[in-house]
Amino acid sequence: MRRTFLTLFLLVSLLPTWNLNALAQGSVSFNPEPESGSIVCPPGVYSTVPDDCLPLGPSAYLTQSAAQGIPYPILPLPVYTPDKSLNDLPYQYFKVTDAGASLYASLDAAAANRPSKILYPSKDLYVSYQGSAELVGKESYYQLLSNYWIPAEGGRLGKFEPPFQGLLFSSQPRNSFGWILGTEKSRTAPGLSSPETGDTFFRFNIVQIYDTQKVDGITWDLIAPSEWLEAVNISQVAPHTSPPPGVIGSRWIEVNLAEQTVTVYQNDQLIFATMASTGVDHFWTRPGLFHIQKKLEATTMSNNIKDDFYYLEDVPWTMYFDEGRALHGAYWHSRFGYRFSHGCVNLSPGDAHWLFNWANVGEFVYVYDPSGQTPTDPALFGSGAP
């Protein structure tokens, strides 16, 4: 009898998962977790709770990130950089002072102070020159490609910031992405009251966008796990998989006026994306569906109205699509991502060069404003300009 009791005691002690109360009542059940603890799942994404482990710790973090659209592992954008030589320009530019300048048909005319052309005061005065300066008396002059002569003291040789270039894509991106427009600090959650992460992002940095939330009237973008930036500080691209209304075929160019981006599609896949500068108020870039009408490797763009005078020689890689509105390179500024033009779509010279090589006359150009802030009344639009 004593041996039978001892055997029963040992059996019960070796089976700690049994419910002793149930055993006393003549039935057997199992506790949800043994006294020794359950097994924690290996790091991974668990869309449903598994039966054989607990998705805690890293698994919980990765599963939460996946619910926000952040994959595990995080995949880079399928991008590569366009050829840097596309930035090279076959012109030398002379920035004329804002006070304007006189142009002379010859050095003799310059010596006699007989100007043939006047460049009125403006902040946008650029001419392209050839060769080196020639001395006439005490003055030096540059000869322009237009064969006029300009006083060297009337400006300075063009010096440009390091060129910005867009991105080429080897496959369709899984999610949205964009460029940082300034210097920004991220936060751990959407909302100005959320703590900063300690990370700082700079102009032209590229980020992926996995989620968007609106908190206290401000829209925020999730760019990494627990890392948010205000959406207004990102020039965003949301890749499409089908052409806009009215586009026939599988090639088109999109100009997003709200985000200040230009995207290019071929075979219904995004192949190129960059930032641009479109028209400011009252010089809006007109929304609509257009076709490239004319391609020019370089052209002079000017406005002879004194209150809004500008003169820009040899604007490169120009493609007109809506009267005087064109896609073209802009060597005189680098404000891409912000509205800055008289109606044209300004691109960096390298981006304009790439687009010029890709596009054909007749190519679709779809201009739209998803924010609805750009007017559409035809009476508000002139012919357009740089």
pLDDT tens digits, 187-198: 999 999 999 999
Whether 292 maps to a domain, the answer reads: no
The answer to whether the beta carbons of residues 214 and 204 sit under 8 Å apart is no
Q: In whole angstroms, give the CA distance from residue 221 to residue 230.
A: 6
Q: In whole angstroms, give the CA distance from residue 223 to residue 186.
A: 9
pLDDT of 269 reads: 96
The answer to whether the beta carbons of residues 306 and 295 sit under 8 Å apart is no
Query: Which range marks the domain in which residue 122 is found?
Result: 89-157
pLDDT of 32 reads: 58
Task: Name the domain boundary from 201, 220, 237.
Answer: 237
Whether 217 maps to a domain, the answer reads: yes
Global confidence as pTM: 0.84
Whether 180 maps to a domain, the answer reads: yes
271-282 pLDDT per residue, tens: 999 999 999 999
Whether 257 maps to a domain, the answer reads: no
Q: In whole angstroms, give the CA distance from residue 149 to residue 144.
A: 6
Same domain as 227, residue 183: yes
pLDDT of 33 reads: 57
pLDDT of 25 reads: 42
* Structural domain total, the chain: 3
DSSP 8-22: HHHHHHT-TTB-HHH
Whether 296 maps to a domain, the answer reads: no
pLDDT of 27 reads: 43
Same domain as 192, residue 144: no
Whether 319 maps to a domain, the answer reads: no
Below-50 pLDDT ranges, the chain = 1-31
Same domain as 232, residue 195: yes
Whether 385 maps to a domain, the answer reads: no
Q: In whole angstroms, give the CA distance from residue 18 to residue 20.
A: 6
Same domain as 153, residue 93: yes
Whether 81 maps to a domain, the answer reads: no
CATH number of 225's domain: 2.30.30
Task: Name the domain boundary from 191, 209, 237.
Answer: 237
Give kind and range of the element (H or E) at residue 58: helix 58-67
